[in-house]
Copies of this chain bind each other. A is one copy, B any other.
Amino acid sequence: MGWGDLGVFGEPSKETPNLDQMAAEGMLFLDFYTASPLCSPSRAALLTGRLPVRNGFYTTNGHARNAYTPQDIVGGIPDSELLLPELLKKAGYTNKIIGKWHLGHRPQFHPLRHGFDEWFGSPNCHFGPYDSRERPNIPVYYEDFKINLKTGEANLTQLYLQEALDFISKQQASQQPFFLYWAIDATHAPVYASKQFLGTSQRGLYGDAVREIDDSIGKILKHLQQLGISENTFVFFTSDNGAALISAPKQGGSNGPFLCGKQTTFEGGMREPAIAWWPGHIPAGGVSHQLGSVMDLFSTSLSLAGVQPPSDRQIDGIDLLPVMLQGRLIDRPIFYYRGNELMAVRAGLYKAHYWTWSNSWEEHSKGIDFCPGQSVAGVTTHTQEEHTYLPLLFHLGRDPGEKYPLSFASEEYQRAVEHISGLVQQHKASLVPGQPQLNVCDQAVMNWSPPGCEKLGKCLKAPESDPKKCSWPH
């Protein structure tokens, strides 16, 4: 989902009344970022509070490549990483993930091995084919769940919603504190929505999915209120990357006025919708310019639970409570990575690009376009362009669309780049990259025989192991 998909962020059909209301009752973050323009590393960063380059969710198979966890990935979240639910356990929290995991699907990587008490959802993304015998994806017990690729009908979000409401009720009844990671995979392509939402949006099927998410979030917030625990429950809404414009117009969302989309380190790829909600604590109708990150949800949640963050490793997240409760602004940069390459850095309103790349000419010629209808000379480049010694600098206040690099000769440029270069040096000097987890792929590790297959008589035989370098074209 993209920044521009919410009414409150200017989506022209304005079809997200519940999210808009959530913002009116809570705090809207205008400058909130993911840690990667792609799902797996973004989610790994959220749960570890650390950049993918630290927690291992990157590849070194090519320069500046986005990598994730497809069906044949060998790696996953390392045991050495401390995940948010593991730490919250210390404070007595019950932790549940509902939805997409995407931090590795081999047994040692599963959520229940990394701090979650309950798991309802899929190890990977939902994309099909679900009954493939050549490239099995999600477990067989998901055969009950169908996406009608012709009509786009599927009730997965409703299943996830009901599971969330039930979990919240159960926790409230038992008076147990809880952490719910509601990681639905709508609006990912192939886009789907439940029957009651199909055809209800001006925006087509993608809009139907957005409306269903919006409706679900409204129901979750209302449920918290009805149970009388809304003033005791912190809720945060955000997305794991910018809208995938490559799926537009039928299945792609909106990044508002920003440049490009998912897979890129332009604003459209990494600036996210973000709303914090905690009635009675976060003042209603607040709007914050704090530079925020999904990694801050790690630190903020620990702070809320009264748990100390780990001191034996670098944590990139910051505690946003002073921002939300006292309206403070905390000075901190945003790092935009693609693989293990630091592509860009934002400090204040300035963003410096050290590398630019949309995608290769080869991929582009196949019709893969991360910036449809947009083209900024020297910026949305189809070759990887290095700007290390003379970064491209944008002022995101005057130019949120990254269209007008500042003049290299200007004082403003020199002042800002000097400042950002200092931050980069500091960052790089102390960086200890994790072991890259997304280098090796092997067909043998796919879900040939997921738990439950015996009962259904549907276990498949895995092929011989044949590990190879994964191919990451972007």
Most buried by B among A11, A201, A259: A11
B residues in contact with A419, CB < 8 Å: none
- Report which of B9, B207, B374, B398 forms a contact with A204, defined as CB distance below 8 A: B398
Judging by beta carbons under 8 Å apart, are A248 and B4 in contact? no
Task: Report the bound CA distance from A409 to B249 in whole Å.
Answer: 17
B residues in contact with A9, CB < 8 Å: 10
Query: What is the total number of copies of this protein in its complex?
Result: 2
Binary contact track A180-209/B, C-beta < 8 Å → 1, others 0: 000000000000000000000111101100
- Report which of B10, B202, B396, B398 forms a contact with A206, defined as CB distance below 8 A: B398
Binary contact track A1-36/B, C-beta < 8 Å → 1, others 0: 000100111111110000000000000101100000
Task: Report the bound CA distance from A459 to B201 in whole Å.
Answer: 62
Interchain nearest-CB distance for A448 vs B (Å): 39
Is the C-beta of A403 less than 8 angstroms from some C-beta in chain B? yes
Interchain nearest-CB distance for A37 vs B (Å): 18
- Report which of B250, B256, B396 forms a contact with A256, defined as CB distance below 8 A: B256
Is the C-beta of A397 less than 8 angstroms from some C-beta in chain B? yes
Is the C-beta of A257 less than 8 angstroms from some C-beta in chain B? yes
Is the C-beta of A287 less than 8 angstroms from some C-beta in chain B? yes
Residue of B nearest to A349 (CB): B202
Binary contact track A69-105/B, C-beta < 8 Å → 1, others 0: 0000000000000000000000000000000000000
Most buried by B among A10, A28, A372, A401: A10
Most buried by B among A28, A249, A375: A249
Judging by beta carbons under 8 Å apart, are A12 and B398 in contact? no
Q: A248-B404, A249-B399, A399-B248 are in contact. Are A12 and B373 (CB under 8 A)?
A: no
Task: Report the bound CA distance from A432 to B464 in whole Å.
Answer: 79
Residue of B nearest to A400 (CB): B12
Residue of B nearest to A406 (CB): B249
B residues in contact with A259, CB < 8 Å: 373
Is the C-beta of A376 less than 8 angstroms from some C-beta in chain B? yes
B residues in contact with A202, CB < 8 Å: 289, 349, 397-398
- Report which of B4, B204, B254, B398 forms a contact with A250, defined as CB distance below 8 A: B398
Residue of B nearest to A399 (CB): B249
B residues in contact with A395, CB < 8 Å: 204, 249
Judging by beta carbons under 8 Å apart, are A204 and B373 in contact? no
Judging by beta carbons under 8 Å apart, are B12 and A257 in contact? yes
Judging by beta carbons under 8 Å apart, are A203 and B12 in contact? no
Interchain nearest-CB distance for A134 vs B (Å): 32
Task: Report the bound CA distance from A18 to B204 in whole Å.
Answer: 33
Binary contact track A220-248/B, C-beta < 8 Å → 1, others 0: 00000000000000000000000000001
B residues in contact with A10, CB < 8 Å: 4, 8-11, 256-257
Please, could you name 5 A-B residue pairs with CB atoms under 8 Å apart, sorted by A? Answer: A12-B258, A204-B397, A204-B398, A249-B395, A259-B373
Nearest 5 interchain pairs by C-beta = A10-B10, A202-B397, A373-B403, A204-B398, A249-B399
- Extra 10 A-B pairs, beta carbons < 8 Å, given A12-B396, A374-B375: A10-B10, A10-B256, A12-B258, A203-B398, A204-B397, A204-B398, A257-B257, A373-B374, A373-B375, A375-B375
